[in-house]
Each structure stands twice: as structure tokens, then as C-alpha cells.
Amino acid sequence: MRKPISQIFILVFLLLAFQNALFAQKGKPTPPATTSNATPPVSWKTEMVQLQKNIYASAVKYNDINAAKNALYSLIDLDPTGGGTASYKDSLLNLFYGSQQYVSAVLLGRELHDLDPKNKSRLAILALAEQNLGVYVESLDHYKKLYDLSQNPSDLYQAAVLEFQLQRYLECNISLDKILSNPASEKEKIYIAYNQQQGQECPLRAAAFNIKGYSAQSMNKLDDAKMMFNEALKVFPEFELAKNNIKQLENPQPQGQGQTKAPGQK
């Protein structure tokens, strides 16, 4: 018996549709298989950052200051907004000061201080660099700010030394009185240089009395000066500089040959 024509058309239509669907499926590209532990490719910048970190570590290890600075410059440029940029600049600041590049240390130190005025380590290096450059007014301002943050009498002592050198004797004595009223001044030590190439560690309290002696001597109050130098010796009997200062008072040298600069700078 013949099948109806309508059924034949239906069978042909279904067969063609199946073939078209199969062809379309074969024509589609198969996506690559993925795994959950696939490692993303490392960018060239990441590789360069790691390379410069390795160079910096090797340069520090072998005390190659110039190579270390160049590596830090590259790291700052490669990672200008990364979390490690501040530490790169902090390291560069330390290298500048350690290699006595005080101008560079001041420029970078001021930039970093503007970004974070309460960072004590940066502020200390900035004040020291300015002090070594002889920029005493700016250094004094930064030592005072540092003392406000740290309340460390050694920082105030450095400010007092600068106040003496700037001939601000009233301010100098106010600073020294604050130091002497602080019990920490008896325990804290400071290195004092004398006779150009000699020096010794002494209590901060003795050093403060010694500066008070210089201040009184500069104002021609010689009896007060001798009393302050003796007070320094009471605190620290081995204080060579105070002994020398008393000798100079008792046997004054011709003008221009005496002590012209207060000791105690870092």
C-alpha cells in the first residue's frame, strides 16, 4: 500500500532538518578545555618589578649605592601608584642621607613630609639633612615638630643646639630647661664630639648643662657659665668637654681661638 504523499513530505522534511542541525553542530569551534588551577600569564611589568627588586637587594648586599639608587628609581617609575612606592622612596631617602647627598635628601624629605607630616622617621632625616647643610632655621622648625610628635628629649636637645647657633639664647634655655625637667634626660645618652677628632658618650642631662654654660658664656655671664659646666661634671665627672670649657674660662684664649660652635650635633 502506498503511503500518503503528505507523510512522504513530512519524512523528507524531518530528514533534511536533522542533516542541517548535524552540519551546524560540526561547524561550530570547540572551546578549549579549562581547569580551575590555570595560572594567568605574568605581565612584563611584573617581571621588571621583580628584576629591579633583585638588583636592589644585590646592590645593597654588596654596598653598591649607585646601583641601589638606580634600581629604586626604576621601581618608583614602574610602580607609581602601587602600595610599595612610599617604601621605595623611603629607601631612597635613607640612601641619600647615608651617602651624604644632603641636598637630594632635603628635596625628597620635604616631598615625603608634605605627604605625611606625622611620619617621625622621615622628619628626623629631613631635619638632620638640613642641619648638615647649614639650613638651621628650617632644621630647627622640623626638630621642634619632631619633638611635638615624639616627646623625645634628644630631639629637643638638637633644637636647643640650633637655637644656640642662631643666637636665640632665651629660646635655647627654655628648651634646655624642659630637657632638665624630664627624668629621661638622666638615662638617655648622646654622643658629644670635641677636639675635632675625639668624642664620648655622655648623659643627655650633662650635655644640656654644658649648652647652658655656652649660652651663659656667649652672653658674657662667666660665673653662670662656670656654674653650668660644673653642674655638667656633677652629672658626668668624665665629661672631657666640660672640663675643657672650665679650663678655657680660667685661662681665656685670644679672641677667635675659643669654642665657636656648640657640640652635640648628630
Each residue's pLDDT tens digit, 95-129:
999 999 999 999 999 999 999 999 999 999 999 99
pLDDT at 256: 52
pLDDT at position 37 is: 56
Contact 144, 113 (CB under 8 A): no
Q: Tens digit of pLDDT for each residue in 159-190?
A: 999 999 999 999 999 999 999 999 999 899 99
For residue 11, pLDDT beyond 60:
no
Does the pLDDT of residue 263 top 90, yes or no?
no
Check pLDDT > 70 for residue 78.
Answer: yes
Q: What percent of the chain has pLDDT over 90?
A: 65
**pTM for this one?**
0.77
- pLDDT band (50, 70, 90) for residue 85: low
